[in-house]
A and B are shown apart, each in its own frame.
Chain A
Amino acid sequence: MGSITLQKVSKVFGEAKVIPSIDLEINNGEFVVFVGPSGCGKSTLLRLIAGLEDVSGGHILIDGKDVTDAAPAARGLAMVFQSYALYPHMSVRKNIAFPLKMAKMEQPAIDKKVEAAARVLNLTDYLERRPSQLSGGQRQRVAIGRAIVREPSAFLFDEPLSNLDAALRGTMRLEISDLHHQLKTTMIYVTHDQVEAMTMADKIVVLNRGNIEQVGSPLELYKTPRNLFVAGFIGSPHMNFVTGSYAQSKNAKTAGIRPEHLILSKDSGLWTGTVKVAEHLGADTFLHLDVDGIGQVTARAGGEFGAQYGDRVYLTPDEAKLHRFDDKGLALRA
């Protein structure tokens, strides 16, 4: 079991109101990602749930039980830290066994659990090594191993992949998703990387300045962003925002159109633009254009769309995929 409920949770550091007030429901078995720009309070929120920070107001419930004032260890949660936080003078085996030893478990039972975890995480050959003798990805797995042996009601991940190189990050992303499917335990994952959020989450919580901007599945956020912030944050490359007469013609203050929803042509279209940069990725080509009367626009073209610096191209926004926002930045629905 691992459902977590936040009721009007707030956090104040001195003068700074990091989290004004948050209500959130996390269901058992969900993979929830907190995403937002740096300083948005996502790590603070995770630490509040973990019990590493005291809440300034509100309540935290785990499985319906109020744990607002409970010690971190008493909450039955396990956390994987950004720096992995492995104990440097202990072997991998002792690192993974540490929480069990603290729980005063019998040595044979500990050995069995540690070896089972090591098998799941491919660490069996490294059990006698020290953390300093492991690679970044292996250390990451040890940190996860230390978390899973406790059989927590939920896992907390604090930007766990940010210290890994791009290739390894991709692999670990898959491994963590796979682990979630195997264990079916609630996981809360904090990241600033919206690609990680989109690829792993069942439910994404977009945070900005300590407030929840929107909660939803990855595709919900992509298709129906509630406001300008979510629209700009989710999706890569970012959504183009157009103001002025074009937006007014659509009865909106701002019109948003994703790069992949612009139809490019070399002969005709609604807008005309000059190619500033063309990024050829093979399958796709991202064009950064200077569109007449609108400004900077990013557009996605097929890999075969040959365009070079200085070329004139025509663009037409796909009206069905257009997002409209009012003067408060909230989305307008048709």
Chain B
Amino acid sequence: MATQNTKTLARLMMAPSVLLLLVWMIVPLAMTLWFSFQNYNLLDPSNVSFTGLFNYQFFYTDPAFFQSIWNTLVIVVGVLLITVIGGIAIALLLDQPIFGQGIVRILVISPFFVMPPVAALIWKNMIMHPGYGVLADINKFFGLQPVDWFARYPLFSIVIIVAWQWLPFATLILLTALQSLDGEQKEAAEMDGANFLSRFIYLVLPHLARAITVVILIQTIFLLGVYAEILVTTNGGPGYASTNLAFLIYRTALLGYDVGGASAGGIIAVVLANIVAFFLMRAVGKNLDR
């Protein structure tokens, strides 16, 4: 990429795909922005008119609005904490030579291949169900009262389900990073008198910094829009206890038939996502530069 010629050529070759991506992104965004200023309800589709900021006011004054933002953040932070810490722990275990290593690794990674609604259904009906779920059986075995997870701890239950799905992803990325750690460095640290904990803090963790950053960034993108798990299990309830922003938008659009209000919610979600991205890049983005 040294000469002016190659640079120009490279830009020319990239132009079509960049253009396509731009159109792909700009058109839906522009349409959402446009609808967010319209009074557009599917129950009365002939009566579409400009309403200014009314949709934003409507969405903002929704009693579920602030709770849904809070829930969104709880899901993102909760799942990130569980997957990063749990992912490091499992990756450390999987890095040890054990019998049947290949099969164990496949088993650990398999939750990632289960589709979110299917996973949520299984958790709802076979694991957390107060009547015939596995957890209820365990409670009964110890003579305890079964817990109605989705009624008592709706948000926590969703965090658990989503974390279960993303744990393999985090584990996989962290395991590959762990395996790329130079064996002689570990031995040098051992000779230098570092015990397991010191080796982990001073050698393994800094080595994993970049991989952890990648896990956090990628997962945040997907976790901001968690939706299927909520729809299948709690349907946002009880009350608004497990409604996040994505689910609130769905509710406004498809249950309220309010395209304008949902679009305004979508724009708010975009702004919120960008705020999160901004702070996230400031917090962990520097790890990617090394």
Give the docked Cα–Cα distance between A144 and B11 (Å).
48
Query: Residue of A at shortest CB range from B185?
Result: A85
A87 touches B202 (CB 8 A): yes
B185 touches A87 (CB 8 A): yes
Chain B residues, CB < 8 A from A314: none
Interface residues of A in 41-90 (CB under 8 A from B): 50-52, 71-73, 77-79, 81-83, 85-90
Residues A73 and B190 in contact in the complex (CB < 8 Å), given A98-B202, A102-B198 = yes
Whether a CB of chain A sits under 8 angstroms from the CB of B182 is yes
B193 touches A103 (CB 8 A): yes
Main secondary structure of the interface of A (DSSP, over half): loop
Whether a CB of chain A sits under 8 angstroms from the CB of B192 is yes
* Mask: chain B, 164-184; 1 = CB below 8 Å from A; 0 = not: 000000000000000000101
Query: Residue of B at shortest CB range from A152?
Result: B191
Chain A residues, CB < 8 A from B189: 87, 98
Residues A98 and B192 in contact in the complex (CB < 8 Å), given A89-B206, A89-B207 = yes
Give the docked Cα–Cα distance between A77 and B193 (Å).
10
Whether a CB of chain B sits under 8 angstroms from the CB of A137 is no
How far in angstroms is the closest Cβ of chain B from A66? 19
Whether a CB of chain A sits under 8 angstroms from the CB of B203 is yes
Give the docked Cα–Cα distance between A52 and B191 (Å).
8
Name the residue among B188, B189, B190, B198 with the largest chain A CB count within 10 angstroms: B188
| Partner of A83 from B182, B198, B202 at Cβ < 8 Å | B182
Whether a CB of chain B sits under 8 angstroms from the CB of A226 is no
| Partner of A99 from B182, B193, B290 at Cβ < 8 Å | B193
Interface residues of A in 17-62 (CB under 8 A from B): 50-52
B192 touches A73 (CB 8 A): yes
B207 touches A79 (CB 8 A): no
How far in angstroms is the closest Cβ of chain A from B248? 42
Residues A82 and B184 in contact in the complex (CB < 8 Å), given A87-B202, A98-B202 = yes
B192 touches A77 (CB 8 A): no
A85 touches B188 (CB 8 A): yes
Give the docked Cα–Cα distance between A99 and B194 (Å).
8
B191 touches A77 (CB 8 A): yes
Give the docked Cα–Cα distance between A77 and B182 (Å).
21
B193 touches A52 (CB 8 A): no
Query: Residue of A at shortest CB range from B290?
Result: A89
Query: Residue of A at shortest CB range from B188?
Result: A85
How far in angstroms is the closest Cβ of chain A from B22? 37
How far in angstroms is the closest Cβ of chain A from B56? 46
How far in angstroms is the closest Cβ of chain B from A92? 15
Residues A73 and B202 in contact in the complex (CB < 8 Å), given A83-B182, A85-B182 = no
Whether a CB of chain B sits under 8 angstroms from the CB of A11 is no
Chain A residues, CB < 8 A from B190: 52, 71-73
Whether a CB of chain B sits under 8 angstroms from the CB of A139 is no
Give the docked Cα–Cα distance between A87 and B186 (Å).
9
A73 touches B191 (CB 8 A): yes
Chain B residues, CB < 8 A from A88: 207
Query: Residue of A at shortest CB range from B209?
Result: A89
Chain A residues, CB < 8 A from B203: 87
How far in angstroms is the closest Cβ of chain B from A322? 45
Residues A102 and B192 in contact in the complex (CB < 8 Å), given A87-B185, A87-B203 = yes
How far in angstroms is the closest Cβ of chain B from A8? 25
Chain B residues, CB < 8 A from A71: 190
How far in angstroms is the closest Cβ of chain B from A125? 23
Chain A residues, CB < 8 A from B95: none
A85 touches B184 (CB 8 A): yes
A81 touches B193 (CB 8 A): no
Interface residues of B in 204-220 (CB under 8 A from A): 206-207, 209
Whether a CB of chain B sits under 8 angstroms from the CB of A146 is yes
| 5 sampled A-B residue pairs with Cβ under 8 A | A81-B188, A83-B184, A89-B209, A99-B192, A150-B192
Give me the interface of A with B, judged by CB distance under 8 Å: 50-52, 71-73, 77-79, 81-83, 85-90, 98-99, 102-103, 146, 150
14 more A-B residue pairs beyond the given contacts A102-B194, A146-B188, with a C-beta to C-beta distance below 8 A: A50-B191, A52-B191, A71-B190, A72-B191, A73-B192, A81-B184, A85-B187, A89-B206, A89-B207, A98-B189, A98-B192, A102-B193, A102-B198, A146-B192
Q: Which 8 A-B pairs have the closest CB atoms?
A: A73-B193, A99-B192, A85-B188, A85-B184, A89-B206, A102-B193, A81-B184, A85-B185
